[in-house]
Amino acid sequence: MTRVLALIPGDVGRQLLFFPTLETLQQHYPHVEIDVIVEPRSQQAYRLCRNVSNVLTFQFENRNGAADWGNLIGKMRDRRYDAGITVSRDWTAGLLCWLVGIPQRVGYENSSLPAWVRFGRQRFPTVGGAIADLAGVFLSAEVSPNARPYDAQRYHDLLLGLGIDTPCPDIAINIPPEDVQWAKTEQERLGILGKPYVVLQGGTGSENSDDEPSQFYPIKSWESVVEGYLERQPDTPLVVVQSAENKDWVASLVKVCPQLQIATPQHVGQLAALIDAGHLMICADRAPLHLGVALKTRLVALFGALEPSRHLPTADYFAGLKSLTSKVADIPPIQVLEKVWDVS
């Protein structure tokens, strides 16, 4: 195995959840070159990954014309991949790999695959007794998508289609030294260097989760959380993360919570370094959640309709709060604070 391609449509969070799969693939084949095809909004995630040789971009969600598809197919064919892996359940991802002649094509079992290609199947057992099928044409191996509750483990199961059956490692990231230095400089600017600060992240814009629609936790509820935290820990700095897309939200929050300090990382590497130096993070279900998991930062994450187990591994220092109404706004601040004290 010399070259492998992974097609990973989706947000930055999905890329981070796929990192354990890339790590295991690199460990199993130390000399393999791994390329990924991702959407432009997610390219920045690979600033934190040592296991990828080339990052190609394609706007999967656009109405692409024949020239766009032809250009992508040309890039794929030029690299002569030995295997292709896709997290997409759209059968066209498998078709792409088939069209460029990739011999091993692994994806999820998909009942939407046209009936005329679902033939010649064999079966093999997977973890937990789930059954995956060896596909006839577009995919050479299909894996059951429902054997695991945590998405990182679910993606890692795709390696079964390449004959790799090992435990899923934790998400791991590599923060560039210049991003670590930026975070140190930012802490010095805020006067919090060496202090156990708390990161607050509301989530919006390019780092939104594709699995959980953007839902801001109300300013009034954040105010209650901030005041409740400072009643018990009055000397702890609270830092809210600002991006180009959430400036209005941050301004509204700081107006009612003037105790907050603002940090403005320019990309995911700086954000990771900021989170890594913090003591605790309270966040929405967005890319920073997965960064916190990778860094083993204590965190409390707010979920609407999504089950927390999809995006949080089991650990005493991670806590997920799911709204009973599927609306993040309906999570009582007292419940957030109770989770904060549990993980702190």
User: Could you tell me the CATH number of the domain that includes residue 216?
Assistant: 3.40.50.2000
301 assigned to some structural domain: yes
Q: Round to whole Å and give the CA distance between 92 and 95.
A: 5
Same domain, 147 and 204: no
pLDDT > 70 in the chain, percent: 88
Instruction: Give residue 146's pLDDT.
Output: 76
pLDDT-wise least confident of 87-91, 301-305, 336-340? 87-91
Same domain, 122 and 86: yes
Q: Is the pLDDT of residue 123 over 90?
A: no
129 phi-psi bin (left φ>0, alpha ψ -120 to 50, beta other) = left
Same domain, 149 and 257: no
Instruction: Give residue 60's pLDDT.
Output: 82
Instruction: Give residue 194's pLDDT.
Output: 93
Q: Round to whole Å and give the CA distance between 291 and 48.
A: 10
For the segment 80-85, the average pLDDT, to the nearest whole number, is: 95
Instruction: Give residue 214's pLDDT.
Output: 61
More confident residue, 155 or 115: 155
Instruction: Give residue 212's pLDDT.
Output: 64
Q: Is the whole model's pTM more than 0.85, yes or no? A: yes
Same domain, 70 and 194: no
Instruction: Give residue 91's pLDDT.
Output: 74
211 assigned to some structural domain: yes
Instruction: Give residue 209's pLDDT.
Output: 58
305 assigned to some structural domain: yes
107 assigned to some structural domain: yes
Same domain, 16 and 154: yes
Same domain, 113 and 33: yes
Same domain, 207 and 109: no
Tell me what the pLDDT averaged over the chain comes to.
Answer: 88
Q: Residues 14-42: pLDDT tens digits?
A: 999 999 999 999 999 999 999 999 999 99
Which of 162, 186, 219 is where one domain is finished? Answer: 162
Same domain, 15 and 123: yes
For the segment 101-106, the average pLDDT, to the nearest whole number, is: 94
Q: Work out the angle between the directed axes of helices 177-190 and 268-276 (0-180°, nearest 10).
A: 60
Give the neighbor-by-neighbor strand order of the sheet with 141-143.
54-57, 33-38, 3-7, 83-86, 104-108, 141-143
Q: Is the pLDDT of residue 104 over 50?
A: yes
70 assigned to some structural domain: yes
298 assigned to some structural domain: yes
Which of 162, 191, 206 is where one domain is finished? Answer: 162
For the segment 91-116, the average pLDDT, to the nearest whole number, is: 78
Same domain, 153 and 289: no
Which of 108, 127, 162 is where one domain is finished? Answer: 162
- Identify the domain containing residue 217 by its residue range: 177-343
Identify which of 108, 102, 153, 91 has the alpha carbon closest to the alpha carbon of residue 128.
153
Query: Is the separation of the CB atoms in 175 and 263 below 8 Å?
Result: no
Q: Is the pLDDT of residue 131 over 60?
A: no
Among 91-100, 284-293, 332-341, the range of highest mean pLDDT: 332-341
Q: Round to whole Å and give the CA distance between 210 and 220.
A: 26
- The pLDDT-based confidence of 148 (bands split at 50, 70, 90) is confident
Instruction: Give residue 205's pLDDT.
Output: 43
Identify which of 191, 284, 272 has the alpha carbon closest to the alpha carbon of residue 238.
191
Instruction: Give residue 124's pLDDT.
Output: 36
Number of domains in the chain: 2
Exposure of 55 in the CB half-sphere (CA atoms within 13 A): 19
Same domain, 155 and 183: no
Q: CA 291, 293, 295: angle at the middle one, nearest 5?
A: 70
207 assigned to some structural domain: yes
Instruction: Give residue 246's pLDDT.
Output: 87
Same domain, 250 and 141: no
Instruction: Give residue 122's pLDDT.
Output: 37
Q: Is the pLDDT of residue 193 over 90?
A: yes
Q: Is the pLDDT of residue 141 over 60?
A: yes
What are the phi and psi torsion angles at 312 (to 5°)?
A: -130, 125
Instruction: Give residue 120's pLDDT.
Output: 38
For the segment 47-53, the average pLDDT, to the nearest whole number, is: 96
For the segment 295-307, the average pLDDT, to the nearest whole number, is: 94
Alpha helices (runs of H) in 165-242, residue ranges in sequence order:
177-190, 219-232
Q: Is the pLDDT of residue 61 over 80?
A: no
118 assigned to some structural domain: yes
Q: Round to whole Å and give the CA distance between 291 and 300.
A: 13
Same domain, 123 and 181: no
